[in-house]
């Protein structure tokens, strides 16, 4: 077991398999990251209660483009809290075809949030559930489960836009935001606006359990290929096995910025991650030690906890935002890499 742990540590670029870094400057790969490039993402989400206002003001005063100053700031103003080893996946902002009205070419509705959907913060009733949420509908004075994916799609409802492909909608719901390319060349940004409260069930795991896909080869790309090869009825039945359903709203079109994450700030490609907010406060700087999913090269950089996700649970589970477009999709889809996280905590 120890030998295996050492091998994993070496693969991730750790200097040793037993000793953890005690200071920010000792983080594996710390000297190789261009830290000044992380400052804008840090400032975007720098706010109390996650970070002191005085610390944010000091960061805002850093000389633009001065990597040495940025490095000194993070090294002297923060201490380390190891979050442990876990899994790093990737996500991106998809681009897909759609229209403002339904037609034979665009028959798939992108539903807006229903008026009867009620979200509940479970932390209001149990402190140990702070940050956890559920959703449902109220009937007879009780909160009842909201309909699942199959029932919502069968029941219809108001639509924000109409898409060309139901598989595109399914993966858009997993990503939580996207850019819809209209027939006239326009672009509409759409963002997360609630979820039906049902547990997220990975259909890739279902395919692996049934022997439809080798477990090691499960990725967004391989799942898409399976769905494309299946009959429409079989593809729909598989997607319906994930009862979770995400609703969308229109968001301002900012072509040069990423979508808005759970912290309420635009996500920055390769500098924003989704975390379990009950384990890592939103706004926290986090040092990630993982691998590039396509090249296998070490990927070690300073990122910001600025988003959450239905499948992101646990102290060392994270999802790296890669950006938008084909290149981001190519890297985010297959990313399932071992990782180690270190949270940077303001020094007292």
> Given this model, what pLDDT does residue 201 score?
95
Domain of residue 47 covers: 2-92+257-346
Task: Give me the numbers of helices (H) and strands (E) for the chain, helices first please.
Answer: 10, 15
**Whole-structure pTM value:** 0.73
* Domain count for the chain: 1
Residue 118 within a domain: no
Strand 95-99 versus strand 177-181 pairing type: parallel
Strand 159-163 versus strand 142-144 pairing type: unpaired
Strand 298-307 versus strand 272-274 pairing type: parallel
Distance CA 32, CA 21 (A): 16
**Confidence band of 253 (pLDDT split at 50, 70, 90):** low
The percentage of the chain sitting over the pLDDT mark of 90, rounded to a whole number, equals 77
Residue 216 within a domain: no
Distance CA 296, CA 44 (A): 30
Distance CA 80, CA 140 (A): 50
Using the predicted structure, report yes or no on whether residue 8 has a pLDDT greater than 80: no
> Given this model, what pLDDT does residue 49 score?
87
Q: Would you give the distance in Å from CA 161 to the centre of its chain?
A: 23
Mean pLDDT value of segment 235-239: 98
> Given this model, what pLDDT does residue 120 score?
86
**Confidence band of 133 (pLDDT split at 50, 70, 90):** confident
Q: Which residue, among 348, 344, 316, has the nearest Cα to 24 in the 3D structure?
A: 344
> Given this model, what pLDDT does residue 4 score?
42
Please give the structure tokens belonging to residue 166: 């139901």
Residue 297 within a domain: yes
Sheet strand arrangement including 159-163: 108-111, 159-163, 95-99, 177-181, 187-195, 246-251
Residue 59 within a domain: yes
Distance CA 101, CA 109 (A): 9
> Given this model, what pLDDT does residue 47 score?
92
Can you list the alpha helix ranges (DSSP code H) found in 147-254?
A: 149-155, 166-175, 203-209, 220-229, 232-240
CA-to-CA separations, 280 to 151, 182, 301, 318, 342, in angstroms, rounded: 35, 38, 17, 10, 10
Of the listed ranges 17-21, 51-55, 79-83, 223-227, the least confidently predicted one is 17-21
Sign, CA torsion 285/291/292/298: positive
CA atoms within 13 A on the CB side of 301: 24
A 10 A CB-CB count for 254 gives 11
My answer on whether omega of the bond before 49 falls inside 30° of 0, hence cis, is yes
C-alpha dihedral over 297, 303, 307, 313, to 10 degrees? 60
Q: Which residue, among 28, 53, 47, 6, has the nearest Cα to 341 in the 3D structure?
A: 28
Residue 29 within a domain: yes
Of the listed ranges 228-242, 293-307, 320-334, the least confidently predicted one is 320-334
What pLDDT digit, counting tens, does each position of 146-166 carry?
Answer: 999 999 999 988 999 999 999
247, containing H or E segment: strand 246-251
Mean pLDDT value of segment 280-303: 97
> Given this model, what pLDDT does residue 132 score?
76
**Confidence band of 3 (pLDDT split at 50, 70, 90):** very low
Mean pLDDT value of segment 55-78: 97
Mean pLDDT value of segment 63-67: 96
Using the predicted structure, report yes or no on whether residue 125 has a pLDDT greater than 80: no
Residue 73 within a domain: yes
> Given this model, what pLDDT does residue 190 score?
94
Using the predicted structure, report yes or no on whether residue 222 has a pLDDT greater than 70: yes
Residue 32 within a domain: yes
Using the predicted structure, report yes or no on whether residue 5 has a pLDDT greater than 50: no
Distance CA 12, CA 282 (A): 25
Contact predicate 273/319, CB 8 Å: yes
Please give the structure tokens belonging to residue 224: 């898409």
Q: What is the CATH number of the domain that holds 6?
A: 2.40.40.10
Residue 320 within a domain: yes
Using the predicted structure, report yes or no on whether residue 18 has a pLDDT greater than 70: no
DSSP type of residue 266: B
> Given this model, what pLDDT does residue 29 score?
97
Contacts of 233 by beta carbon, 8 Å cutoff, 6+ apart: none
């Amino acid at each position: 077991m120890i030998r295996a742990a050492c091998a994993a540590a070496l693969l991730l670029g750790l200097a040793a398999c037993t000793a953890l870094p005690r200071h920010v400057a000792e983080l594996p790969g710390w000297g190789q990251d261009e830290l000044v490039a992380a400052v804008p993402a840090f400032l975007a989400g720098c706010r109390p209660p996650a970070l002191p206002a005085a610390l944010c003001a000091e960061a805002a005063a850093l000389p633009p483009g001065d990597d040495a100053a940025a490095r000194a700031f993070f090294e002297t103003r923060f201490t380390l809290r190891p979050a442990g080893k876990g899994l790093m996946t990737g996500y991106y902002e998809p681009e897909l075809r759609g229209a403002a009205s339904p037609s034979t070419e665009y028959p798939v509705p992108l539903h807006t949030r229903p008026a009867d959907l009620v979200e509940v913060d479970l932390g209001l009733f149990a402190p140990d559930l702070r940050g956890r949420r559920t959703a449902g509908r109220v009937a007879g004075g009780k909160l009842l489960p909201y309909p699942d994916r199959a029932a919502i799609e069968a029941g219809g409802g108001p639509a924000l836009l109409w898409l060309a492909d139901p598989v595109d909608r399914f993966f858009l719901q997993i990503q939580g935001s996207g850019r819809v390319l209209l027939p006239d060349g326009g672009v509409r940004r759409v963002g997360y606006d609630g979820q039906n409260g049902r547990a997220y069930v990975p259909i890739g795991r279902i395919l692996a359990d049934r022997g439809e896909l080798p477990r090691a080869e499960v990725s967004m790309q391989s799942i898409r290929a399976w769905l494309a090869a299946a009959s429409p009825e079989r593809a729909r039945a598989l997607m319906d096995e994930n009862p979770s359903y995400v609703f969308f709203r229109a968001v301002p079109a900012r072509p040069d910025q990423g979508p808005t994450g759970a912290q309420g700030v635009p996500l920055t490609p390769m500098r924003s991650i989704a975390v379990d907010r009950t384990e890592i406060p939103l706004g926290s700087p986090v040092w990630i030690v993982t691998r590039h999913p396509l090249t296998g090269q070490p990927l070690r950089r300073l990122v910001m906890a600025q988003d959450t996700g239905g499948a992101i649970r646990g102290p060392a589970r994270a999802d790296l935002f890669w950006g938008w477009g084909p290149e981001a999709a190519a890297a985010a889809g297959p990313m399932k890499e071992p990782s180690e996280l270190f949270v940077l905590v303001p020094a007292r």
